[in-house]
Amino acid sequence: MFIRGRRTLALACRRPSGEIFRYREPLDSPLHRSRMAKLPLVRGVIVLGESLTHGYRMLQKSADIQLEEEGGGLSGPANTAILVVTALVALGVFVGIPYVASGFLHAVIQSAVWSNIAEGILRLVLFLGYMLAIAQMPDIKRVFRYHGAEHMAIHAHEAGEPLEVDRVRPFPTAHPRCGTAFLMIVAVIAIALFAFLPRANPVIDLVVRLALVVPVAAISYEVLKLGAQHLDHPVLRALVAPGILMQRVTTRRPDDGMIEVAIASLSEALAGDAEAVPA
């Protein structure tokens, strides 16, 4: 389980022996060195990029720990190839299919706005369908239980509770700053912004949509951050509500062993942050 602290990257996972492996390292981020990086919209792009790179690296490290007693695993080039193929398939499914399908509608109604809205809704439906489908897989269910344990530990810490299994257990598995909530906000904002894009030809249209992923993600990060800080405001609460609802799919109630791993990961992040000297 990977948790990003303010100045620390922390990882905890169970070894095949049952022992909890703990790891942490300093977080070297432009957010700590540059005022420009902290500007609204800019910071969201940086956080997104760092989350992807650090998350993948920590996932690799966790997999290595799990496989160390089995002598298995894939090489670096093989992992890279898998990542590239996965990214291409995701682009084809969540960008290509909605665009092509909405193109048939555009040929009939001749309205770029309604065609783009239909494209965005189809993209959202595909995403929801994908999440519901993989949530039925036993291994993914286990991942979602760990996901819930992570949120519960964070809730407990934010409430000032000690990081002990009995004190963490009562907390909910959903959290307003979850990555699932971020993806839901991205989908909704993309529908709104993409609605007004003109339709030229498939190549140009797809390039424009891919180029706009960055600003859409930047705006979504600011919305998520603002909503999580002001849940008492009805409008902002409504904006993050779909992400909270979606976490009924992407989180599950964990067992005590999973909570122990979440506590270990969060404890490492907090310990690293406490040791770090601000720049």
Domain boundaries, given as residue ranges, for the chain: 2-52+75-275
Is residue 221 predicted with pLDDT exceeding 80?
A: yes
What is the distance between the alpha carbons of residues 43 and 65, in angstroms, rounded to a whole number? 32
For tokens 């999440």, name the residue. 131
What pLDDT score was predicted for residue 271?
Answer: 95
- DSSP for residue 231: T
pLDDT (average), residues 214-227: 88
Give the pLDDT band (50/70/90) at residue 69. low
What is the distance between the alpha carbons of residues 19 and 274, in angstroms, rounded to a whole number? 25
Which one is predicted more confidently, 213 or 167? 167
In terms of DSSP bridges, do strands 8-14 and 2-4 run parallel, antiparallel, or are they unpaired? antiparallel
The SS3 of residue 3 is strand
- DSSP for residue 207: H
Is residue 138 predicted with pLDDT exceeding 70?
A: yes
| Residue of 244, 122, 253 lying closest to 182 (CA atoms) | 244
Q: Supply the pTM of this predicted model.
A: 0.85
pLDDT tens digits for range 235-272:
878 878 888 889 999 999 999 999 999 999 999 999 99
What pLDDT score was predicted for residue 277?
Answer: 60
* Residues 2 and 11: beta-carbon distance below 8 Å: yes
Mean pLDDT (the chain) is: 87
Residue 17 φ then ψ, to 5°? -75, -15
The one-letter amino acid code at 117 reads: I
